[in-house]
Structure 1
Amino acid sequence: MPTFQTPLSPELERQARRRAGQQTGWLVHATVFALVNAALWLAGHRGGWLGLPTGGWLIGLLIHGAVVWLRPQGQHLHQHLLTRERRRLAGQEARRLP
């Protein structure tokens, strides 16, 4: 995968890294949600108590995803997301310059 070569201002670089980190964090959150809840359901859910924490966590995961707006695209996800954010922010910066 080619790396992004155009330098950004320090502020835009910080924003790009923060956004890529948030998007990677959502993917980790979703993976942990799936693994933990699959294990709980496989272990048995007698009494119907499992729906409440699973439902609450699912709502949190959906809200997290809505805030981050993650589109996973294969290997090296963090690098891909960082490159995408750098390009987006560079375009914003170019539009602001006279």
Structure 2
Amino acid sequence: MATLPSDDEIDRLARKRAGAKLGWYAHALLWLVVNLFLLAISDVGFGTRRWTPFPMFGWGLGLLLHGVSVFVLGTGSSLRERMVQRERERLQRERGGPRP
């Protein structure tokens, strides 16, 4: 049977999750600012080439993967917890049931 987390463990996990989400929000804001800047300077004419979306898509893929790691697969996420619980149950069955 799983033990309930202590208040300190809950606080630590909550702080870790909040920090990860704030990191993603900062990443997304920086992505937006940099790509708007690149678009603006291409229209002003610092060069003869038009702005291309390739940096936006490349960095956007990184931002997407960062978001998945924070919001879907992060420590304590429901998906991760369900997978851990299933693995724990499977290992206990293979061992012959839970031991006291």
| Alignment TM class, shorter chain as reference | 0.5 to 0.7
Show the counterpart of 1:89: none
Distance 1:49 1:41 in 2: 6
Show the counterpart of 2:62: 60
1:27 aligns with 2:31: no
Q: TM-score, normalised by structure 2?
A: 0.53
Unmatched 5+ stretches in structure 1: 1-7, 71-98
Q: TM-score, normalised by structure 1?
A: 0.54
Give 1:52 deviation, angstroms: 2.5
Larger radius of gyration: 2
Per-residue CA deviation, residues 1-37 of structure 1 (Å, 9 max, x unaligned), is xxxxxxx532221111000010111111101100110
Give 1:53 deviation, angstroms: 2.0
Q: Kindly report which structure 2 residues correspond to 1:61-76, keeping only aligned pairs within 5 A, or say none.
A: 61-69=63-71
The percent identity for this pair of structures is: 38
Distance 1:48 1:55 in 2: 16
Q: CA RMSD in A?
A: 2.5
Show the counterpart of 1:44: 42
Q: Larger relative contact order (C-alpha < 8 A, sep ≥ 6)?
A: 1
Preserved CA contact (<8 Å) 2:39 2:51:
no
Distance 2:37 2:30 in 1: 11
Code of the aligned partner of 1:51: P
Code of the aligned partner of 1:39: F
Unmatched 5+ stretches in structure 2: 1-5, 73-100
SS of residue in 2 equivalent to 1:44: helix
1:14 aligns with 2:12: yes
